[in-house]
């Protein structure tokens, strides 16, 4: 999809718009402040002019995949997903102020840090694979940095979601980090191709560029990159602080033959941990679920392109009906998200009147009681 300007941020209940964060092929991301609990959140929204069922399917799939996996410490957390008043699907996620999108190109990232990132991403991918899900777009820009400095995997927008055209399935791919068999469209993505992509991502963070990128101008077109990836000849990273053992790990992960790669993301993570031990570093924990683990919710339906959630054409303002509604217990304390959070100014002014009336009534009743007491005592 061609580069475009971000769409207008939607009005969302309980969220106050701050500024845009970015714009992608089929979604915009905005920074909002959540009213309760008070925190900044990232909101991913489909543009208002997108009505393609395929893109809605991808958007729904991302929300569901994150709902399955976001409890993982190395996967971005999703808080909620719904439909805005103007009919646009949105996902409210953890706000991560940084990413690795450009850092590796302008900074020499320490080997120690890159190894830790690699192990964490291997943990995230292994967990996704055990849930029966493939990310399909592992690359530096999809590794975000939380406010605590922790790397997390994000953007599951094309996870197990393929854009179809006549003649078969075509994967929406990021060519510099895609495996040869994916670039050749022989597969839409497998565990083996994910191992390749993670190896290529670790390579990029160390080398300062993607594995088959050239410094010369005009040498990095899609066609040229495809040809180099198809040949898949590993070129060692020209850094003296990158040990030979790490070069071997990366060359294995990026083998042209999928059968010669590590057979799982976990195996690649263990290989990176072995390099950490060799360098005298404390191995990063490989956080993966137990063998008997399975997603708690229903499997992701990758064919679902429906608009889901409480879509509204307007913000409800029927205060009379809300005031007359009876209720007890927790239900009586529930807030109307539209009227109370979206319109805080009216809430402040309007809610003061009952307090004023109550105080006045109390003063009158107290004065009457004093008069009755004095009269009974014979004072009056």
CA distance 371 to 373: 5
162-168 long-range Cβ contacts below 8 angstroms, 24+ apart: 162/188, 163/54, 164/54
Closest to 315 (Cα-Cα) out of 343, 296, 287: 343
Closest to 114 (Cα-Cα) out of 103, 125, 124: 103
Beta partners for residue 29, in sequence order: 22, 44
Q: What is the CA radius of gyration of the chain?
A: 28
Q: Is 22 helix (H, G, I), strand (E, B) or coil?
A: strand
Sequence-ordered alpha helix ranges (H) in 232-379: 244-253, 265-278, 319-324, 329-333, 344-350, 352-376
Catalytic residue among 57, 88, 130, 136: 136
**Structural contact between residues 319 and 339, judged by C-beta atoms closer than 8 angstroms:** yes
CA distance 209 to 144: 18
Tokens of 98: 């940084």
Active site residue 136: yes
Residue 44 class from Cβ within 10 Å (0-12 exposed, 13-18 middle, 19+ buried)?
A: buried
Helix (H) or strand (E) holding 143: strand 143-145
CA distance 141 to 104: 10
> 10 Å Cβ neighbour count for 274?
14
DSSP-derived secondary structure for 170-208: E----GGGS-HHHHTTS-S--HHHHHHHHHHHHHHHHHS
Sheet architecture: strand order including 98-99: 98-99, 143-145, 151-153
Hey, which residues are catalytic here?
136
């Amino acid at each position: 999809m061609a580069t475009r300007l971000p769409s207008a941020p939607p009005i969302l209940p309980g969220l106050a718009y701050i500024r845009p964060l970015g714009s992608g092929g089929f979604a915009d991301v905005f920074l909002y402040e959540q009213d309760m609990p008070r925190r900044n959140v990232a909101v991913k929204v489909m543009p208002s002019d997108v009505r393609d069922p395929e893109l809605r399917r991808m958007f729904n799939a991302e929300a569901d995949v994150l709902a399955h996996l976001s409890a993982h410490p190395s996967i971005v957390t999703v808080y909620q997903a719904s439909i805005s008043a103007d009919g646009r699907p949105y996902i409210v996620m953890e706000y991560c102020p940084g990413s690795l999108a450009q850092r590796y190109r302008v900074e020499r990232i320490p080997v120690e840090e890159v190894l830790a990132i690699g192990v964490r991403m291997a943990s995230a991918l292994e967990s996704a694979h055990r849930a029966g899900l493939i990310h399909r777009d592992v690359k530096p820009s999809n590794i975000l940095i939380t406010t605590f400095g922790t790397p997390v995997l994000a953007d599951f927008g094309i996870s197990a979601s393929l854009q179809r055209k006549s003649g078969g399935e075509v994967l929406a791919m990021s060519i510099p980090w895609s495996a040869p068999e994916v670039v050749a469209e022989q597969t839409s993505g497998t565990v083996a191709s994910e191992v390749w992509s993670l190896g290529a991502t670790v390579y990029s963070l160390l080398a300062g560029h993607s594995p088959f990128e050239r410094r010369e101008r005009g040498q990095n077109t899609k066609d040229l990159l495809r040809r180099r990836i198809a040949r898949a000849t590993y070129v060692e990273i020209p850094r003296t602080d990158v040990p030979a053992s790490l070069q071997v790990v990366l060359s294995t992960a990026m083998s042209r033959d999928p059968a010669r790669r590590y057979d799982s993301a976990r195996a690649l993570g263990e290989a990176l941990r072995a390099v950490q031990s060799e360098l005298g570093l404390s191995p990063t924990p490989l956080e993966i679920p137990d063998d008997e683990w399975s997603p708690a919710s229903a499997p992701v339906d990758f064919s679902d392109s429906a608009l889901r959630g409480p879509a509204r054409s307007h913000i409800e303002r029927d205060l009379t009906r809300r005031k007359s509604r009876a209720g007890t217990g927790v239900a009586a304390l529930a807030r109307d998200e539209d009227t109370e959070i979206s319109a805080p100014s009216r809430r402040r002014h309007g809610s003061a009147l009952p307090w004023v009336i109550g105080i006045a009534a109390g003063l009158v009743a107290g004065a009457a009681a004093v008069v009755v007491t004095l009269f009974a005592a014979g004072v009056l």
